[in-house]
Amino acid sequence: MAKRRKVSNLLALALLSLLAQQPMYPYEMAQTLRTRGKDRTIRINWGSLYTVVQNLEKHGFIEAAGTNREGRQPERTTYRITEQGMAELRDWLRELLSEPDDQPTPFAAALAEGGILPPAEMAELLAQRLARLDKANAAHEAELTVWNERLPRILLIESDYELAMRKAQADWVRGLLREITEGTLGGMDTWRKIHETGEIPQEIRELDELAKRGWDEPGQT
């Protein structure tokens, strides 16, 4: 089970990782993350980077290593990771690597409610998504091929994973789209009936009632 961490956003993880390699000041951290393409795998709110740095310092994960000024530039503080920060980084990485991610995604939420749309419209929207996925995956694969010739694979492993997951999603969407267009998806008749009549079929209502009674039984939460 995931721990409740004092600083829990993934930008903090990326900053701890950077500072485990060498001391840096915040602007340098931001530039390094951009250069390494970390914004492809971590949602980075650049405006909150300084706040994350402050929170990491507040909880003793990083500390100021010194300040300096170049020319007329504002004074800047260089930070380094502490022993406590290194322990937190390693523990966090072990957790993320060993425990499957079960966070809900917007796409899964949309699929759960997709029956609100008629089959033909959902098929059209899925076809649009598939076309975009295939195009993005082709571009990503070409880019990754170039980088693999220049860098060891370990430095590109997160990009490799991202491509594999999006290819898997494209294959899954392709299969679902085929089932909808061929009419072989389980429940297609009920789905069509709902949109043709505007009414919820009796069998669906009965399933809802059974579910409600199940939740009302003692011991259910």
Going by pLDDT thresholds of 50, 70 and 90, the confidence category of residue 221 is: very low
Q: Which amino acid is at 169?
A: Q
- For residues 147-156, b (16+ Cβ closer than 10 Å) or e, as one string? eeeeeeeeeb
So what's the pLDDT on residue 1? 59
Distance from C-alpha of 133 to C-alpha of 166, rounded to nearest angstrom: 7
Give the position of tokens 């290194």: 86
Going by pLDDT thresholds of 50, 70 and 90, the confidence category of residue 183 is: very high
> Average pLDDT in the 167-189 region?
96
Q: Which amino acid is at 218?
A: P
> Average pLDDT in the 163-171 region?
97
Do strands 62-68 and 76-81 pair parallel, antiparallel, or not at all (unpaired)?
antiparallel
Q: What is the pTM of this model?
A: 0.79
Distance from C-alpha of 14 to C-alpha of 28, rounded to nearest angstrom: 13
pLDDT, tens digit, for every residue of 123-152?
999 999 999 999 999 999 999 999 889 889
What is the helix, strand, coil percentage profile of the chain, to 5?
65, 5, 25
101: which 2 tokens?
Answer: 């991610």
* Percent of the chain clearing pLDDT 90 (strictly above): 62
**Taking 80 as the threshold, does the pLDDT of residue 172 lie above it?**
yes
90: which 2 tokens?
Answer: 């390693």
Going by pLDDT thresholds of 50, 70 and 90, the confidence category of residue 71 is: low
Mean pLDDT of the chain: 89
So what's the pLDDT on residue 3? 78
Give the position of tokens 């571009």: 139
